[in-house]
Amino acid sequence: MKKLIRNGTIVTASETYKGDILIDNEKIVALGKDFKEEDVAEVIDASGCFIFPGGVDPHTHLDMPFGGTVTRDDFDSGTVAAAHGGTTTVIDFCLSEKGKSLNNAINTWHEKSQDKAVIDYSFHLMIGEITAEVLDELPSVIEEEGITSFKVFMAYKNVFQADDATLFHTLIKAKELGALVMVHAENGDVIDYLTKEALAKGQTEPIHHALTRPPAAEGEATGRACQLTSLADSQLYVVHVTCEQAVKQIDEARKSGADIWGETCPQYLVLDQEVMRQSNFEGAKYVWSPPLRDKEHQEVLWNALKIGALQTIGSDQCSFDFQGQKDLGREDFTKIPNGGPMIEDRMSILFSEGVAKGRLSLNQFVDITSTRAAKLFGIYPKKGTISVGADADLVIFDPEVKRTISADTHHLAVDYNAFEGMEVKGQPKTVLSRGKTIINDQIFVGSNGDGQFIKRAKYGEVLQEQTVQ
Ligand code: URP
Ligand code: ZN
Ligand code: ZN
Ligand code: ZN
């Protein structure tokens, strides 16, 4: 069945032009003008709109256990919300447990996602320790499962935190096998010390979550991860970069020739630490790690995106209800589950605050929200661009619509929105996932289970696919 999208302005990471898109079944089969409409079953008019490649969110935590509870949003509500926001692919973090097989973890994540996801998805795999069993399993994780990125936590002591030996060994194995290593870069030991000190002084409110995780602890861990990457002659992707100290380390390492990439998230671009001081425990809504920073870091992050010192934006979607989940830490900030709801507004915020305010070009917007992540994580050119042969994952985006972000209107299951009251310009109107309309004039019309797991190419390789039918 053929579909035609007419009269839109097509935007990729490198081009902006008026053109029509012909879709056959799941794929883009032609780009141009004056296509005959006779054998086309549906014509979608995109007048006045941009057409972006579907967003690729490289950082989500859906249905993830944390601190004795589980994220409120799973692969159902989480991917529906993502679709509303223009994201058509998510790469979620599959958590492994020390002493258990990696395959066990991967199977658990397949069970969480396969009947629920409404958009395509893949997994990154957490490495908590390197043992003989883990080393044995890694080649098949890459070759058979198509999972080509590993996540190492340098923080969350006694929970997820890995030691430097594990990080270094993972970097060496990743280089050998063709995977990209991702790090949560904060010094977990220093944070553990500062946290114990704060609690001993009776400092239990949400703001102390931020004060015990200073920017220097992120800068130090980021620098260490960069150094270890150079030493291993490997490749690194630093997730959720929040501050000047960390940006500086990544920038310096890149300038010295290291193969290192950095991601930031919408929350760090538009919110600052002061919100964590709100009374009645409201500050708990903004407890995630690394924490929000002082306002001056925001322009550093925007500038880093603009000049290419940071290259992607992930949501770090990891939602917990204010009532009943964040509540667990009323008496002690260390018991507040870490994370926030960001998957739906990731692209809107970057467009409104970035493009509409003149900080980023349209092409940079596409690169940062879609193309770059698709390339780094081995799903390009199937995902991340508008070209013949690519999946018809497309966002028809009206740049003039204004909307106020609110938990009353969002599509997440969680009971609050961290960007409540923020006005944004521009909104996805219609979204296609592999040729099928899943958002039609802002109404969800997709189906659970339609999302497919994507086996990814190795780091640095393009995804080879069957040719267009
Ligand atoms: O607070 C956060 N970010 N929760 C999710 C886990 C992580 O560190 O990315
Ligand atoms: Zn993290
Ligand atoms: Zn206090
Ligand atoms: Zn995360």
For residue 117, how far is its CA from the centre of ligand 1 (angstroms)?
A: 21
- The letter for the amino acid at 410 is H
Q: Is the dihedral of CA 142, 146, 149, 152 positive or negative?
A: negative
The finding on whether 339 has its CB within 6 A of some atom of ligand 1 is yes
Tell me whether residue 256 is exposed, middle or buried, using C-beta atoms within 10 angstroms of its C-beta: 0 to 12, 13 to 18, 19 or more: exposed
- Spatial neighbors of 367 by CB under 8 A, at least 6 apart, are 13, 311
Q: Of all atoms in ligand 1, which is nearest to the CA of residue 338?
A: 1
Among 157, 338, 342, residue to substitute to test ligand 1 (most atoms within 8 Å of Cβ) = 338
**467: pLDDT confidence band, cut at 50, 70 and 90?**
very low
What is d(CA 125, CA 201) in angstroms, rounded to the nearest whole number? 38
Who wins on pLDDT, 469 or 296?
296
Evaluate: CB of 288 within 6 angstroms of ligand 1: yes
Ligand 1: which residue has its CA nearest to atom 2? 339
Query: What integer is the mean pLDDT of 47-57?
Result: 99
**Sequence-ordered list of residues with C-beta below 8 angstroms from that of 187, at least 6 positions apart, any chain:** 154, 155, 217, 218, 220, 221, 224
Q: What is the mean pLDDT of the chain?
A: 97
Mutate to test the pocket of ligand 1, among 240, 289, 317, 336 (most ligand atoms within 8 A of CB): 289
Render pLDDT for 106-125 as a digit per residue (tens, 0 to 9). Answer: 999 999 999 999 999 999 99
Neighbouring residues of the ion ligand 3, judged by CB less than 5 Å = 203, 205
Q: Using the mean position of ligand 4's atoms as its centre, give its distance from the Cα of residue 316 in Å.
A: 4
Task: Name the pLDDT band for 469 (thresholds 50, 70, 90).
Answer: very low
Q: Where are the domains of the chain?
A: 54-376
Q: What is the pLDDT of residues 433-461, one digit of tens each?
A: 999 999 999 999 999 999 999 999 999 99
CB 61 less than 6 A from any atom of ligand 1: yes
CA–centroid distance, residue 401 to ligand 2 (Å): 33
98, with CB counted inside 10 A (0-12, 13-18, 19+), is exposed
What are the φ and ψ backbone dihedral angles of 316, each rounded to 5 degrees?
55, 35
User: Residue 464: what pLDDT?
Assistant: 84
Residue 114 neighbours by CB under 8 Å, 6+ apart: 449, 453
Q: ipTM of this predicted complex?
A: 0.94
Strands 149-153, 120-126: pairing is parallel
pLDDT surpassing 70 at residue 468:
no
325 C-beta closer than 6 A to ligand 1:
no
H-assigned helices in 117-200: 132-143, 164-177, 188-200
CATH architecture, range 54-376: Alpha-Beta Barrel (3.20)
Segment 230-241 mean pLDDT? 98
- pTM reported for the whole predicted model: 0.98
Q: How many CB atoms lie within 10 A of CB 131?
A: 12
- Alpha-carbon distance of 340 to 321, in angstroms, equals 9
Where does 99-169 show beta strands of DSSP type E? 120-126, 149-153
